[in-house]
Amino acid sequence: MERLGGLRRDVIVGFQNLAVAAVLFGSAQLGLVIGLNEGRTSPFWPPTGIAVTALLLLGLRTLPGILAGLAMINLTTTPPAAMIPTAIGSTLACMCAFWALRRVGFDIRLDRLKDALALVFLAAFGAMLISSTNGTALLLATGVVTPHTFLPVWLTWWTGDAMGVLVVAPFLLTLAKIPWRRYRHIGTARLTELTVLLAGSFGLVLFTQRALGIVFLAFPLIVWAAWRYQLPGAAPVAVLTSAVAIHAAVHGYGTFAGRDLLETMLILQLFNGSIALTGILLSVAITERQHTREELEDTCRQLGQAIGHLDRAMRPDDKSHLRGWAEQQQDAASSSRRRSDRGQAN
């Protein structure tokens, strides 16, 4: 029986690794669409965010799948001599991101400011220096990149991996950990608002890009999503608006019309980074504020109960003004909690 259980676990782990490798290879095609010519580096690289998310959700047992998926990607993007070393460097970067987040007590629910800052500075900006430096150095050694173009290619590689973590990882973690049962009976008004928000994020930003050549209207949408739904709303909006920006950059319209390749990549990087950071940090700040309010309400309710019990023990036949105040605090806390629950359901 124990052997059968071990075999079942091995089969499950094998399927998980195959799935991770397939998803990494498939998601790389989006990044390759906007890759630069030299080294085919991309300013937006989804496989990195997917790999970090797989490690956070499934653990180190997914490392073979991550390494295999990255190696398959490199079959068409790097010289044969650099294929395996590049995949090892990218896998090592994802492992370092995972270990750094675990070291600081990262919570995959992303509902604390320290978690958001750790994802941004440790996983995205810090650990991805490993993959970009290793990959660009290998391209230089194999003659794909020249010393003159080393810095632009390195910067694009690093930014692409960082944007993959900042844009893709929060979206996938939200999908994995969102309490779906809590939203089974979502109200019609709230469902309509969410639909308008998501559709508007795509349609409005696409229209303003084509007609007016502006992208800043994405920021009120990301603020609205973060304020109303926190990360479960902000993450999809960030993905949709980033997709519109990528499409505009590829086809050269709107903000990106008439610009050379490096200017296009720079604007795209700054826009995607700003959208991702705004959504993550604002969502986490609002979530922390709500948690603090709930803790204060719970504390007031517990204090009111303690005062009420003490007052009844000392004056069983005469309710003091203090007991009346305590009962008012309990009622206010209960009413606030009921309003919050109704707001989330509706």
Any idea which of 8-12, 93-97, 104-108 has the lowest mean pLDDT?
Answer: 8-12
Assess contact for 329 and 300: CB atoms under 8 A. yes
Contact in structure between 197 and 239 (CB atoms under 8 Å) = no
Q: What is the mean pLDDT of residues 155-167?
A: 87
Distances in Å between the alpha carbon of 71 and those of 67, 95, 133? 6, 16, 17
Contact (Cβ atoms closer than 8 angstroms) between residue 170 and residue 115? no
Is the pLDDT at 340 greater than 60? The verdict is no
Highest mean pLDDT among 36-45, 96-105, 295-304: 96-105
Asked whether the beta carbons of 276 and 225 are under 8 A apart, the reply is no
Average pLDDT over residues 132-141: 92
Residue with the larger pLDDT of the pair 316 and 67: 67
pLDDT of residue 18: 93
CA distance 66 to 44: 18
Contact 230, 115 (CB under 8 A): no
pTM equals 0.77
What confidence tens digit (pLDDT) does each residue in 259-272 have? 876 777 778 778 88
Residues near 226 by beta carbon (within 8 Å), at least 6 away in sequence: 233, 234, 278, 279, 282, 283, 286
Mean of all residue pLDDT scores within the chain: 80
Q: Is the pLDDT of residue 39 over 70?
A: no
pLDDT confidence bin for 51, thresholds 50/70/90: very high
Residue 345, pLDDT score: 45
Task: Indicate the pLDDT class of residue 335, thresholds 50, 70 and 90.
Answer: low
Residue type, 270: L
65 pLDDT more than 80:
yes
Provide mean pLDDT across the span 71-90. 88
Q: What share of the chain is helix, strand, coil (3-state, %, to 5)?
A: 80, 0, 20
In this prediction, residues 5-19 reach a mean pLDDT of 80
What pLDDT is recorded for position 4? 54
Short-list 278, 285, 254, 280, CA closest to 267: 254
Please give the structure tokens belonging to residue 42.
Answer: 């991309």
Read off the pLDDT of each residue in 214-240 and give the average, rounded to a whole number. 84
Which of 94-98, 153-157, 175-179, 218-222 comes out lowest in average pLDDT?
175-179
For 213, residues 6+ apart whose C-beta sits below 8 A from its C-beta are 253, 254, 255, 257
- Whether residue 221 contacts residue 237, with contact meaning beta carbons closer than 8 Å, is answered with yes
Residue 315 has pLDDT above 90, yes or no: no
Q: How far apart are CA 307 and CA 13, in angstroms?
A: 55
Q: What is the pLDDT of residues 164-211, one digit of tens each?
A: 898 899 889 888 877 655 555 566 777 777 777 888 777 878 788 777
pLDDT at 112 > cutoff 90: no
Instruction: Tell me what the mean pLDDT of segment 75-83 comes to.
Output: 84
Average pLDDT over residues 124-150: 90
